[in-house]
Structure formats: C-alpha cells, structure tokens
Amino acid sequence: MKKIAVIGANGQLGTELAAYFNEQGSEVFRLSHNDIEISDINRVNETLSAIKPDVVVNTAAYHNVPICEENPDISFKVNAVGALNLAKLSNDLHYKLVHYSTDYVFDGEKGKPYIETDIPNPLNIYALTKLDGETLIRNYCENYFILRISGIYGKTPCRAKGGNFINTMQKAARERDVVKVVRDEILTPTSAAEIAKNTFSLMQTEAYDLYHMTCNGQCSWYEFAQVIFRELKLNTPLESCLVSDFPMLVKRPTYSVLENSNLKKINLDAMAHWQTALVKFLAEL
C-alpha cells in the first residue's frame, strides 16, 4: 500500500498501526482529531481529497462506555455518522476503508465464541452506535474491511479511558492493599501490535468483508490480571470477585469472545494466543 491515512493516529491503536505501516514502507498520514472531524463530511472530503490515500484506516471512536450512555447523540454522531461519511467518500475518492468495531455488539448470551454471522444484540449505547456504523459502511461502501476487536492494550495509553487494563492494574497495585478483579466476565485480550500486523496483511487483499480480529483463546479479567501481576512482579494481593459485587452502571456482555472465522477461511488468521502476546508485550515494557 502506497498511501495510508490513519484516522485517530494519536490513540492507543492508531499509534501502533501508523508505526507498523510505516515500517512496512507505506507513506503514512497520521490524522488526529485536530486534522479531521469524521462527523463533518465536508471536512473529511477536504482532508482526504488533498491526501488521495489508497487506504483509509479509521480508529476514531467515541468509546468511553459510561460517557456514551450519557451522550447518545455524540456517540451516534461519531460512531455512526462518522462511519457513514467515510463510507460515502470511499466510492468517490477510490480508497479502501478499514474500520474497527467491537465485541460489545453481542449480548454474551451465546456463551461460546461468536462468529461473524451471529446476530448482534447490543446492550448499551456505545455498542449500538458501533453496530450502526458497521451497518452504514456495509450499505454505502464497496471496498471495506470491518474489523471487530476486543480487550485492546498497547504502548500508547487510551486517552478516553486514561490508560488500558494493564495501566489500571499497575496503578491499583500501587494504591490498594488488595486488588479485586472479576472472574465471571470473559473476553480475549488483544495487543495493538497483533492487530496492526494482521490488518496490514488483510488490506493487501480484496477480500472485502466483516472480520473478527482478536488474539486466540479466552480468559476472565481475573486471569488476564494474574498474568500481568506475575510478569510484572506486582506483590499486592490479587483476588477474584463477581460482576455482581460492583454496581452496574451500564449493561455489558459477560461473554464477548470472538472467533476469527472469516480470517481462517482466507488463511489470514495469524493472531497469536492471548497469553503469548501478553507475555511478549509485558517483557518489552
């Protein structure tokens, strides 16, 4: 790929994507919120027309779940209208669109890994607006890759959430006598580095579709924390607890594991096991 525009390039995922694409020899245009407002189609058109990218990679999202609940209009404007604008312009400006969505589009009732053909049932505003964005892209864009991801962590902290789960565990270990983490909410932690590598491979193709792109395997948040505590040698006691032990501010799926079914069909599921990727990431911290 010659020219790649990464929207949200100063975020946790965007930073990693831009760096990896650059390493692979692509000309990368790093676009932050100051450079492009995806909910304004005129600004999007002006910015992307000047760049003339071969691929647009959209990581921009309104994704702090409790704040989305309080601001459904902003959530819809960014997550759905923003996706629609990029989809519409992709046909006019002739670029491939890569767009990231979420495991939260499912309600967790299935209890085993979700594949791309499973019917979504979002439980909160964030998930609903991300699903809306998916639907609009599929209806308005021909050359798209929609990638559902889960439990992301990377070298750059997530600005909207003040970090990622690893940062949260480090902070909790410093400040608390005991750290409690839920054992009955199941996911697949996925490193931004794994997503970057696999995104780059996929967008070399013309296999346009919806994909799940997470590390392999599954764990509870407590098991995720256990590896972090072990590898970083955090000595604060770590205990498991239940979701019901905390006040539920927003409904979330208690099981959101994704199966990379469509990637496997085209022999492009090179995602590592979650624990392998996590240990490697922690060793490099």
Chain segment 94-122, per-residue pLDDT in tens:
999 999 999 999 999 999 999 999 999 99
Inter-CA distances, 167 with 67, 139, 159, Å: 20, 38, 12
Rounded CA separation 34/69 (Å): 25
What pLDDT, on the 0 to 100 scale, is given for residue 84? 98
Predicted pLDDT of residue 249: 82
Q: What's the CA gap between 118 and 195, in Å, rounded?
A: 22
- Length of the chain as a residue count: 285
- State the burial class of residue 29 (Cβ atoms within 10 Å of its Cβ: 0-12, 13-18, 19+): buried
Which pLDDT does position 61 carry in this prediction?
A: 93
Supply the pLDDT for residue 275.
Answer: 97
Residue 232: CB atoms within 10 A of its CB come to 15
pLDDT reported for residue 163:
76
Instruction: Assign 160 a pLDDT band (cuts: 50, 70, 90).
Output: low
- 195-233 tens-digit pLDDT: 999 999 999 999 999 999 999 999 999 999 999 999 999
Query: Distance between terminal CA atoms of the chain?
Result: 30
Mean pLDDT of 182-207: 96
Residue 99, number of CB atoms within 10 A of its CB: 27
Among residues 121, 133, 125, the alpha carbon closest in space to that of 78 is found at: 133
Mean pLDDT of the chain: 94
Closest CA to 147 of 109, 187, 194, 183: 194
Going by C-alpha positions, the residue among 190, 182, 161 that lies closest to residue 254 is: 182
* Residue 159 scores a pLDDT above 80: no
Distance (Å, rounded) from C-alpha 162 to C-alpha 80? 24
Beta bridge partners of 3: 27
3-state DSSP assignment of residue 95? coil
For the cut 70, the answer to whether the pLDDT of residue 88 exceeds it is yes
Give the confidence band of 161 by pLDDT, cuts at 50, 70, 90.
Answer: low
Q: Please report, as a single letter, which amino acid is at residue 226.
A: Q
Cβ pair 262, 203 in contact under 8 A: no
pLDDT band at 19 (very low <50, low <70, confident <90, very high): very high
For residue 248, the model assigns a pLDDT of: 79
Give the number of other CB atoms < 10 A from CB of residue 162: 11
Topology, domain 3-158+189-216+257-272: Rossmann fold (3.40.50)
Neighbour count for residue 101 (Cβ, 10 Å)? 24
And the tokens for 192?
Answer: 């931004």
> In angstroms, rounded to a whole number, what is the distance separating the alpha carbons of residues 65 and 55?
28
∠ CA(195), CA(141), CA(135), 5° rounding?
75
- Is 156 exposed, middle or buried (CB count within 10 Å of its CB: 0-12, 13-18, 19+)? middle
Judge whether residue 158 has pLDDT over 80. Answer: no
